[in-house]
Amino acid sequence: MPDTRTLSRLRAAAVIAAGGTGTRMNAGVPKQFLEIAGRPILCRTVERMALLPQVRAIVVALPAAHIPRAEALLGGRARCVAGGETRQDSVLGAVRALPADIDVILVHDAVRPLCPEEVMLRVLETAWAKGAAVPALPATDTIGRVSRRGRVLRTPPRAELYAIQTPQGFHAALLREALERAEAEGFQGTDESSVVRRAGHAVWVVPGSPDNLKITRPLDLEIAGRLLGKEGAVNGPEMRVGQGIDYHRLATGRRLVLGGVEIPFEKGLEGHSDADVLLHAVCDALLGAAGMGDIGRLFPDTDPAWRGRASLFFLEEVGRRVAAAGWRAVNVDATLVLERPKIAPHAAAMRRRIAAALGLGEGAVSVKATTSEGMNAEGRGEGVSAQAVALLARAPAPVTG
C-alpha cells in the first residue's frame, strides 16, 4: 500500500462480533441486546465505531435468528450477517462481506460499548503503520498458570503479561489471508491477533483503557452505567440545540393562527399555508437541532399540496421525521414578537397544541410574547415574528421482539 496516503484518507471498516448468548448474564436474551442507560449495548457499540470518520462500513456478525431484531435496532447504521459456529468463523464471514477497497479492518466485541475514541484511533494508526495492532492493559495482579485440578504450575513474569482488548486492527489483506489460511488448516485462535501471529505477522500493542469494559456478568452492566454517567459528566449528554426564526406579514382577509390556535383579530398572517409563524419557528428549531434543513425545504411554498394547510400538520410531521432520525424533543421555548393582539389569554392553548403535536408534557413547552416598543415592522403592526429554541436528545433505539 502507498505510504503517501494520509490517515484522513484511509478507508477503514469495522467488524463487530455479536455471537454471544449471554448465559452468564441470566437475562433470557443475548447480552448485546441488554440495555445500558436505556439503550441496547449493540447500538452503543456500533455508534462508538462510527465515531471514527475513517470507518466507511460496519458489519455485525450474529446468529441468523437475531438478525431481524438487530436490523430494527440499528436502522441501517450497519449491515448484519449470519455468524458461524465460532467467533473466528463469524469474523471471517463478516470480513468477506466488506467492500474490496478497505485498507484497515477493526474487529471489535459487540459487548464493549464504551471504548474511548482515542483508543480506537491509536489502534487504527498503528495498524496502518505496522500491519496489526491491539489495545492492551498491563496485568496488575499476579497471574498463575493453574492445572485442571487447581494446582499452580507456573507464575509468568508479570511485566510480560497484558490483558488484550478490542478493537484489534489489521491491514485488510493481511487479516483476510490469515483467516482464510486458518480456516483451510482447521486452526481456531483465541482472537484475531492469535490467528494473524500464527500466519507469521507481528502484532503491536497500544495502550488500552480500563473504561473499555467487556460486558460479561450482571455487575458489568452496573459498572458500564456508571462509566457512561462519568463520560456524560465530562463530555456532556448526547443532546443538540436548534434555533428557529420566522417572519410573516399581516394582511386583511386572512385568519390569524398562532401556535395552532385561531385568534380573533382584524388581520391574519400572509402565507402559502395558514402562515402560523410560531409553529414555523418551532419546526425550524427542531429540524436545525437534528441537522435536517428547514421547513421551506420540506414543505416548499411552490407545492400546491401545502396551500392553506394547518401548520400543526407540519409540526407533527417534523416531529415524526426527527424521531425517525433517532432524536426526541426534550423541550421547546418560543417567543412571539408583535404589538397586537394580546397573546397571554391564548398562550396556554398554544402550549397544549405544541406539546400534543410533539408528544411532550405541557411543562416542556414555553410560549411567550413581547412587543418591539413601536420599532420595526412588528412595532408598526405590519407583521409578526417568532423565535424558538428546541433541545433534542438521542432517543433510545426501539427494542423489538
In this predicted structure, what is the pLDDT of residue 399?
34
> Does residue 395 have a pLDDT over 80?
no
> Does residue 298 have a pLDDT over 90?
no
* DSSP 8-state secondary structure symbol assigned to residue 399: P
Name the residue with higher pLDDT: 350 or 399. Answer: 350
Look over the chain and give the mean of its residue pLDDT values, rounded to a whole number.
89
7-141+152-235 homologous superfamily: Spore Coat Polysaccharide Biosynthesis Protein SpsA; Chain A (3.90.550.10)
How many helices and strands, by DSSP H and E, does the chain display?
Answer: 12, 19
Name the residue with higher pLDDT: 308 or 124. Answer: 124
C-alpha distance across the termini of the chain, in Å: 45
In this predicted structure, what is the pLDDT of residue 400?
33
In this predicted structure, what is the pLDDT of residue 249?
95
When pLDDT is averaged across residues 235-249 and rounded to a whole number, the result is 84
Interval 147-178: pLDDT, tens = 999 999 999 999 999 999 999 999 999 999 99
Name the residue with higher pLDDT: 318 or 399. Answer: 318
Which residues contact residue 122 at a Cβ distance below 8 angstroms, ignoring those fewer than 6 apart?
133, 135, 206, 207
Interval 178-234: pLDDT, tens = 999 999 999 999 999 999 999 999 999 999 999 999 998 888 888 888 887 765 544
Let me know: does 13 contact 102? Beta carbons within 8 Å. yes
> Does residue 4 have a pLDDT over 60?
no
Instruction: Give the residue extent of every domain in the chain.
Output: 7-141+152-235, 239-394
- The CATH architecture annotation of domain 239-394 reads 2-Layer Sandwich (3.30)
- Beta-strand relationship, 267-269 and 261-262: unpaired
Interval 51-73: pLDDT, tens = 888 999 999 999 999 999 999 88
Task: Return the half-sphere exposure (C-beta side, CA atoms, 13 A cut-off) of residue 372.
Answer: 17
Interval 88-106: pLDDT, tens = 999 999 999 999 999 999 9
When pLDDT is averaged across residues 344-365 and rounded to a whole number, the result is 92
> Does residue 76 have a pLDDT over 90?
no
Let me know: does 209 contact 230? Beta carbons within 8 Å. no
pLDDT confidence band for 401 (50 / 70 / 90): very low
